[in-house]
Amino acid sequence: MPRKEPTRRKEKAAANKQRIYEAALAVIGEKGFEQTTIHDITTRAGVAIGTFYHHFRSKDGILEENFRRADEAFAAFAQELAEAPGTAEERILRYLDRYALLIEETGFDLVSKIYTYKNKLFVRRGRAMQEGLVKILRDAQEQGELKRDLSPEELCEYLFVAARGVVFHWCLIDGGADIRALMQRHFSLLLPAFVA
Question: Are the C-beta atoms of 54 and 24 separated by less than 8 Å?
Answer: no
Query: What is the pTM for the complete model shown?
Result: 0.74
What's the angle, vertex CA 64, arms to CA 122 and CA 55, rounded to 5? 175
Per-residue pLDDT of the chain (196 residues; tens, 9 = 90+): 555 556 888 888 888 899 999 999 888 878 877 888 999 999 999 999 999 999 999 888 888 888 788 878 877 787 787 777 888 899 999 999 988 998 888 787 777 777 666 666 666 676 777 888 888 899 899 999 999 999 999 999 999 899 989 999 998 998 899 999 999 999 999 999 999 8
Domains, the chain, ranges and CATH? 1-56 (1.10.10.60), 59-194 (1.10.357.10)
DSSP state for residue 159 in the 8-state scheme: H
Closest to 122 measured CA to CA, from 96, 172, 166, 160: 160
